[in-house]
Amino acid sequence: MQDILLLKQGEIVLKGLNKKYFEQKLVQNVKRRLARLGEFEITCLQSILYVEPKSEAVDMDAVQEAMTKVFGVAAVVRAAGCEKTPEAMAAKAVEYMADAMRAAKSFKVETKRADKSYPMTSIQISQYVGGALAEAFPDTAVDVHDPALTVHVEVRETQAFIHGAPLPGAGGLPVGCGGTAVTLLSGGIDSPVSTYMIAKRGVHMIPVHFFSFPYTSELAKQKVLDLAKILTDYCGRMTVEVVPFTHIQTEIRDKCPEEYFTLIMRRFMMRIAQGVADRNGAKALVTGENLGQVASQTMEALGCTEAVCRVPVLRPLIGFDKEEIVRLARRIGTFELSTLPYEDCCTVFTPRHPRTKPRIDAVEEAEAVLDIDGLVKEALDGIERVRIEPGEE
């Protein structure tokens, strides 16, 4: 029996005259994500994407899992289609829901009649199909108030569909409809989560990672690339820009006051990220900063670091507590990898007593001994680009 997936849109349905643009982006993203899984017929009708495999050999479990991670999809329904007659709907429900019916102690039928011209009401369809199921599975009781199983019938434009409970989708907006942003991606817990959150708003992400070999190892770099691989399941294909950062950090260590090490380092990161944004037409920077979490994330320190930027700095985690961030990291699958003990460049040359309430004029004076423009250009010219596709091993 060949299943079909129904991808139900979320926020897109509210977009009014712009809805078509968002739907087209969603269809493009779905097609791109499915390319490695087989051949499919994809159609969009009345805020539903129909994903129908062209071969029996397609792994529908893998397809269903992949579609739950596509931004713009609110729910994923795995269903069987049939003709829009009561007899066909009842027969298909008995056939398609047989295993679930045998396993459940009770059930009910819910019908959605998207085709308002259909002559039977939703209640009449539910009663008809429910009667057939009750007769076919007499050991499963009817319970319309608190059933163990709900059998769904959807009467749509061309067919009727029978299915069980839908899976929640990723929600949000299709990646690519909200422009491009540069995200600062370290190996920690926070930055992968912040990347995910802004991608969920339809933004294409360009990750930038600062690599300080030999103070940070190749394993630390690979950890970040592996995090990016996980994120591509949600964000789509990305190119990680790996920035050589060792020279900048040693220059800061050798020439600047220790209490300003982290602040000056962060200002260089933002300058370089701004340069990457300029090269790629990105309109914002994204960080995993969280107010008060560490010394460089006080309001005064955040003001000092973002002062060197010309585009907005988006900080989606700014008001989260750590447990909220950890829960989200676990849900998207980055937490275990983020906690592997490979240091990133932020832990190199950490000051013993960092300034928590710095004045921007004092920071500017402390970094004035450095060749700022030359160091930024050297870092931008030395970038290594690593392209990562969803599903890569």
Q: Decide if 264 contacts 256 (C-beta within 8 A).
A: yes
Rg (CA), the chain: 26
Q: Say what the pLDDT of residue 173 is.
A: 96
Q: Say what the pLDDT of residue 346 is.
A: 60
Instruction: Flag the least confident range among 210-214, 349-353, 376-380.
Output: 349-353
Rounded to whole angstroms, how far apart are CA atoms 15 and 172?
A: 13
Rounded to whole angstroms, how far apart are CA atoms 59 and 331?
A: 23
Q: What percent of the chain stands above pLDDT 90?
A: 83
Q: Say what the pLDDT of residue 294 is.
A: 78
Rounded to whole angstroms, how far apart are CA atoms 356 and 295?
A: 5
Q: How confident is the model at residue 351 (pLDDT cuts 50, 70, 90)?
A: low
What average pLDDT does the segment 71-99 reach?
A: 96
Is the model's pTM score more than 0.85? yes
Q: Say what the pLDDT of residue 293 is.
A: 79
pLDDT digits (tens, 9 = 90+) for 254-300: 999 999 999 999 999 999 999 999 999 999 999 999 987 777 788 99
pLDDT digits (tens, 9 = 90+) for 135-194: 999 999 999 999 999 999 999 988 999 999 999 999 999 999 999 999 999 989 999 999
Q: How confident is the model at residue 392 (pLDDT cuts 50, 70, 90)?
A: low
What average pLDDT does the segment 42-62 reach?
A: 91
Q: Say what the pLDDT of residue 390 is.
A: 84
What average pLDDT does the segment 98-117 reach?
A: 96
CA torsion 46-47-49-50 (nearest 10°) is: -30
A 10 A CB-CB count for 65 gives: 14
Q: Which domains does the chain have, with CATH numbers?
A: 4-168 (3.30.2130.30), 180-388 (3.40.50.620)
Q: Say what the pLDDT of residue 393 is.
A: 53
Rounded to whole angstroms, how far apart are CA atoms 73 and 75?
A: 6
Q: Say what the pLDDT of residue 358 is.
A: 85
Q: Decide if 97 contacts 109 (C-beta within 8 A).
A: no
- Where residue 129 falls (left for φ over 0; alpha for ψ -120 to 50; beta otherwise) is alpha
Sequence-separated (6 or more) residues with CB below 8 Å from residue 104: 140, 147, 148, 149
Q: Say what the pLDDT of residue 256 is.
A: 93
The alpha carbon of 125 is separated from its chain's Cα centroid by a whole number of angstroms, namely: 38
| pLDDT beyond 90 at 132 | yes
Q: Say what the pLDDT of residue 352 is.
A: 72
The alpha carbon of 168 is separated from its chain's Cα centroid by a whole number of angstroms, namely: 13
Q: What percent of the chain stands above pLDDT 70?
A: 97
- List own/partner pairs for 123-129 with CB under 8 A and 24 or more apart: 125/86, 125/89, 125/153, 125/155, 126/153, 128/86, 128/89, 128/90, 129/86, 129/89, 129/90, 129/93, 129/153
Determine how β-strand 238-244 pairs with β-strand 285-286. Answer: unpaired
Q: Mean pLDDT for the chain?
A: 93
Q: Say what the pLDDT of residue 345 is.
A: 58
